[in-house]
Amino acid sequence: MRKTSPPIRAERNPGPVSSHVAAGDLGALPPTLASLNARVVACERCTRLRVYCETIAREKRRAYRHEEYWGKPVPSFGDPDARVLLLGLAPGAHGSNRTGRPFTGDGSGAFLYPLLWEAGFASQSQASSRSDGMQLFNTVITSVVRCAPPDNKPTTEELRNCRPYLDEELALLRELRVVVALGKIAFDGFTEYLQRTGRIAKRSAYTFSHGVEYRLPADGGWLLATYHPSLQNTNTGRLTAPMLLKVLTRARTLAGLGEDA
């Protein structure tokens, strides 16, 4: 059995937290995480993003014209005792911006959640809404930007405006051992965090590519990377299900949750 990595240490030390929280149930979260998610949902720092998300929610896609869109910043979803963090780019305009939960209701989620289930991180293979009963075990999903950006391209200022939320969340995840960056922007966002908080000296030593893994010097945690599960990547075969499952299984091993399959 591989030796378990120690938690990625945070600067704060909140009290005990509960496990396996269902999506959208802020009341079931520890007060610190519930407060963070509530502030994320109420955020209006980026005018361009708020206008875009609200416009999409109002106009809707024809296939979802009878649904009520979320249309707000999307909070993280998962287990507050998580050992593994999946870090994405941003909500999809008609996915998370519609459903209010990361990677739910679009092609990226349809690709990701069955693999999370197969890797033992999810209670079921299909994710459709905040009320579908999905639970995550030992993992949490969040993104570097909490609002859907036009063309999936947040500006530098928008990325900067969301940094405090990621910083705070990482401080609250006391058992975190492994971060899996879903795509280069998420990878860059996390390495910027590591440099900003003094955990690494130079980001140049950390280069993004699919399947790469780095042992973090400050605390013994791990950073893994994969191509983002966007339709652009999955439909072209750049990212296949076995490729992503291998990364998720490796994350599970490094987190001390079981050996590689």
210-229 pLDDT tens trace: 999 999 986 779 999 999 99
The percent helix, strand, coil of the chain (3-state, each to 5) is: 40, 10, 50
Q: Which among 25, 51, 261, 219 has a CA at the least distance from the CA of 149? A: 51
Average pLDDT on 145-160 reads: 98
Instruction: State the chain's mean pLDDT as an integer.
Output: 89
Residues 6+ apart with CB under 8 A from 36: 75, 165, 168, 169, 172
Question: What sign does the CA torsion over 221, 24, 40, 47 have?
Answer: positive
Contact call for residues 70 and 97 (beta carbons, < 8 A)? yes
Strand-strand pairing, 77-78 and 139-143: antiparallel
User: What's residue 64's pLDDT?
Assistant: 94
Contact call for residues 203 and 195 (beta carbons, < 8 A)? yes
For 167-184, write each residue's pLDDT tens digit: 999 999 999 999 999 999
For 155-164, write each residue's pLDDT tens digit: 999 999 999 9
Contact call for residues 148 and 106 (beta carbons, < 8 A)? no
Task: State the pLDDT confidence band at 31, using cuts at 50, 70 and 90.
Answer: low
User: What's residue 258's pLDDT?
Assistant: 81
Is the predicted pLDDT of residue 3 greater than 60, yes or no?
no
- Assigned fold of 26-254: Uracil-DNA Glycosylase, subunit E (3.40.470)
Is the predicted pLDDT of residue 53 greater than 50, yes or no?
yes
Question: What sign does the CA torsion over 31, 191, 10, 85 have?
Answer: positive
User: What's residue 30's pLDDT?
Assistant: 65
d(CA 229, CA 111): 7
Look at 20 and 184; give whichever has higher pLDDT.
184
Residue 243: left (phi > 0), alpha (psi -120 to 50), or beta? alpha
Report the predicted TM-score, pTM, of the whole model to 2 decimal places: 0.88
DSSP bridge partners of 77: 141
Task: Using only the alpha carbons of the chain, give its radius of gyration.
Answer: 17
Is the predicted pLDDT of residue 203 greater than 60, yes or no?
yes
